[in-house]
Structures are given as C-alpha cells and as structure tokens.
Amino acid sequence: MTAQPLTATDMAAFVLAVLALLYGALWLRDREPGMSWLSFSFALAAVWYAGSEQYLPTGAYIEAGQYGMASIILLSTMTMTIGLMRYLGPLTRLRRTVLYVLLAPGALVLAGYIAGVPMLRSVTNAAAVLGYVGCAVMAFRAARHEPGAGHAIIGIAVLAIPLILPLLLLLKVELRYLRYLGVLPVLFFGLTLLTVSLLRRRRALEAEVRRRAAVEAELTQLNATLEQRVADRTADLGQLVGGLESFNRSVSHDLRGPLGGIEGLARMAHEALEENGDASVARRVLPAIAAQAETSTRLVGALLDLARVGDAALQRRRVSLDALVREVLDHLAAAQPTQPLPEVRFAGLPQVDGDPDLLRPVLTNLIGNAIKFSRERAEPRIEVSAEQQGREHVVRVADNGAGFDAAAAQQIFEPFRRLHGRRFEGSGVGLSIVRRAVERHGGRVWAEATPGQGAQFYFTLPLAA
C-alpha cells in the first residue's frame, strides 16, 4: 500500500496541534487567563484542518453532511474569541457585554446546525469574522490603556485573519482556496500571541525580581536601622543607668544635705519656741532654711530639665545662632540683675538646622558655665564661634576661667559630676543636658581644658539634608 503524501492542510493541522499543546502547557504552568480557551481553540482548528479535505465546499449553502466540520471551525472561532478577551484583561462589564455580542451570531448559527436549518456559507463566515474584528478592536483599546504590553501587535495579528477573505476576493481567487491561505494568518496570530505572552511573563518575572530585590534592600536597611536604634537605645540605657547611679550619689549627698539641714534647723527653732518661747532662734534659722530649700528646689528643677530634654519631641527648623545667643545673654542678665555680665564675643554665627527649644538650654548652660568659671578672672574672656567642617557645623564656647584636668573631659558630661566641688554653685546637671540635647540632633559634644587656663566646649550640628 502506497503511503499518501502529506498535504498543506496536514502540515497546518500539525502546527495548530503543536500550538494547542504549547498553550495548554502555559496554562498548566502559569494559569494565565485565556490560555485554556486558546489551547482548546487551536485543538479544534487542528481537527478541522486534519479532516477538511473530505468536505470541500461545493455551493453557497453548507450541506447537511458538513454541519459537523462547520460546527468545529465555528466553535474554534468562538473559543478563540473567549480566550483572547480573557487574555486582554479582566472581564469588566463592558468587555463582558462585547463578548456576548460577538458570540451571539455564532451561537445562532450553531443552533441552526442543530435544528437542520440550511445555512449560507457567507453567514457562517460573517459570524466568524465578527469575532475576529471585535477581538482586534478590544486589543487596540487595551493597547492604549497598557502601553508596551504587546496588545497592539496582537490586534494586528488577529485582524489579519478576517482580512484574508476580502484580499482573496480582490485578487479574484476561488473561495475554495480559503482553507489553504486562511491558515497562514491563524498561525501568525498563534505564534505572535505565544511570543507576546512569553515576553509579558518575562517582564512580570523581571518586575517581581526587582520588587523582591527592593524589598530585600529595604529589609537590609531596616535591619541596619534597627541595629543602630538598638545600639542607640543601649547607649541611652547605659547613660540612664549612669545617670541613676549619679542621681543616687546626688540624693545621698547633694539633696540629703539640704533636706537634713532643713530638718535640723526646723527642729532647733521648734524646740526654742516650745521650751523658752524664744523666737530669735527661729528668726536666725529661717533664712538658712529658705536657702537650703532653694538649693533643693534648684536640684529638683535641674533633674526635671534633664528629663525634659530627653523626652521632648524634636522640631527642626532654621535657627539663627546669633539671635539665640543674644536671647540667652538677655536671659542670663535678667537672672542675675546685681551682677553685670562679662563681655561675650560672638559675631557672624551661622543659621543651623535644629530645635530652638533644645538648642537654647545648650547655649544657656555652656555660656552660663563660662561666665561662672571665669568670674574670678580680672579680665574674663568668653567667646562663641562656629565653622562648617564637612557636613556639620562645629560650635565652640571658650573661656579663660578655672579650667579642669583634661583626664576628666568625658566625665563632666555625666549627671551630677562636679569637678570643682562646692567652690562654684551648681547642680552638676547642666552639661548632661548639653550632651543629651546635642545627641538628640545627631551631633557630638566634647571639651578641652587646662587647669587654671580656661576651657573650650565644642558641639556639632549636622547640616540640613
């Protein structure tokens, strides 16, 4: 028995079957919308081309024996319409309505086949053409809303299928050749849609990789930030513990002393009044009690100021250091009306990015300390200056006062550290307030000094971002 040579329709059926398998594999792998319908459509088209040689058209009407093959190719067109509409995007109300309109003529033709009503070939072809044209229009519409997704290429490919009919008529080619030439745009459409789908999937994977890389970078940054925050919190806790230890020492010495003095003087006055009715003792000790109470009040106030600096919300804005220094000097002069302030030199100080409510106590304590510790000098010299170094301002407050041992330069910023004992008044909290306020701004603070030759205090403020 001699083997029959392969025909063009056999090759077309083979390629369509391969496309059906490829679309089916894509649907099984990715569950991409519309792929299952397109796989079924190409499978039906493969079946039609494999057996259509036996049912060549012979007249204007489809014969009763050709209803089966005609139904297969019409179902292929309808399922392709459904698959393409689902591939282009979600079935919104508009797309669902368009889909029903495109499928209605084909459904009526299929009903006619079932009922045995004679059908013109032109009616069947028109039902198929309507689906292709409608899908092309929706593809071009989707291209406007989603540029770069390849929808315009798909629209051109699907529009080539119905255009083959008027092209054949224009070239006066017999319609029976439609089955041979018509498969070319179908194959072109199938390969085009497959390529666009794979490219779209690739872009989606690349976008997912970029998204995950961005999330990973963000997590890395968050981890680094978290580690920094933990380190900062640990440092804060260390400072807090150190502050509590200093506070215990202060309560044991600085605060207990005034309170004990108040208690002893009050008992002395009470006993004098009770035993002898002598009010002179009370008159002598009441000023001392007031002084001791004032000392205790200042110490408690200093503790509250230290806590307030640590808890206040940071409100950054542009601040003129010149104006802030003048304000601090006015405040210091008003607080000591009987003691004139020495000359404080400052000029051309910059504007900085910071919270004036936190920078004010920094300058108040540094300038106040400079005035206090240089008061014994015949010619006290106090200078406030600033310069930009890299990405930060460095502010310097210098005096020619008592100074201190350079080995204690770091200790003086701990709460209640008083290097000069009772020689100078104070609570030992001011420099702790300075350090905490500067660190809240992201800056640093340090000191340089020589005993008997004055001290220089420095703090930094980062430049505005």
pLDDT digits (tens, 9 = 90+) for 286-318: 776 666 666 666 666 566 655 566 556 678 889
Question: Which region holds residue 415: left if phi is over 0, alpha if psi is between -120 and 50, else beta?
Answer: beta
* pLDDT at residue 109 is higher than 80: yes
Look up the pTM and report it: 0.47
Could you read off the pLDDT of 314-356 as tens digits, one per residue? Answer: 788 899 999 999 998 888 888 777 777 888 888 789 899 988 8
pLDDT at 408: 64
pLDDT tens digit sequence for 207-224 = 888 999 888 888 888 888
Whether residue 325 lies inside any domain: the answer is yes
What's 349's domain CATH number?
3.30.565.10
Q: What are phi and psi of 82, to 5 degrees?
A: -65, -45
Residue 331 neighbours by CB under 8 Å, 6+ apart = 364
Q: Which of the listed residues 147, 181, 215 is the one where a domain comes to its end?
A: 181
What DSSP string describes 160-229?
HHHHHHHHHHHTT--GGGHHHHTHHHHHHHHHHHHHHHHHHHHHHHHHHHHHHHHHHHHHHHHHHHHHHH
Burial level of 94, CB count in 10 A (0-12/13-18/19+)? exposed
Domain annotation covers residue 403 = yes
Query: How far apart are alpha carbons 131 and 106 in whole angstroms?
Result: 9
Instruction: Write down the mean pLDDT value for the chain.
Output: 78
Mean pLDDT, rounded, for 261-280: 69
Task: Determine, yes or no, domain membership for 237.
Answer: no
Token pair listed for 424: 């100078």
Q: Which of 73-82, 130-139, 240-249 is modeled with the greatest confidence?
A: 73-82
Is residue 271, in this structure, part of any structural domain at all?
no
- pLDDT, residue 26, reads 84
Calculate what percentage of the chain has a pLDDT beyond 70: 73
Q: Is residue 436 part of a domain?
A: yes
In a domain, 278, yes or no: no
Which of the 8 DSSP states describes residue 378?
Answer: S
Which of 246, 297, 243, 150 is closest to 436 using CA atoms? Answer: 243
Confidence of residue 58 (pLDDT cuts 50, 70, 90): low
pLDDT at 324: 92
Pairing outcome for strands 344-345 and 382-389: parallel
Residue 383, Cβ neighbours under 10 Å: how many? 16
pLDDT of 423 reads 47
Q: Which domain holds residue 346?
A: 317-465
Q: What is the mean pLDDT of residues 171-185?
A: 68
- Average pLDDT value for residue range 45-69: 71
Counted domains in the chain: 2
Find out whether 106 and 119 touch, Cβ atoms under 8 Å: no
Task: Decide which of 182 and 363 is more confident.
Answer: 363
Residue at 252 is within a domain: no
For residue 420, pLDDT over 60 is answered with no
Q: Which one of 130, 155, 181 terminates a domain? A: 181
Q: Is the pLDDT of residue 1 over 50?
A: no
Q: Which secondary structure element, helix H or strand E, spans residue 448, and what is its range?
A: strand 445-449
d(CA 323, CA 315): 18
Domain boundary pick from 155, 181, 207: 181
pLDDT value at 10 more than 70: yes
Residue 205 resides in a domain: no
| Lookup result for tokens 């961005």 | 214
Which range, of 155-169, 209-223, 245-259, 431-445, averages the lowest pLDDT? 245-259
Tell me the C-alpha distance between 445 and 394, whole Å: 9
Q: CA-CA distance, 334 to 197, in Å (whole number)?
A: 80
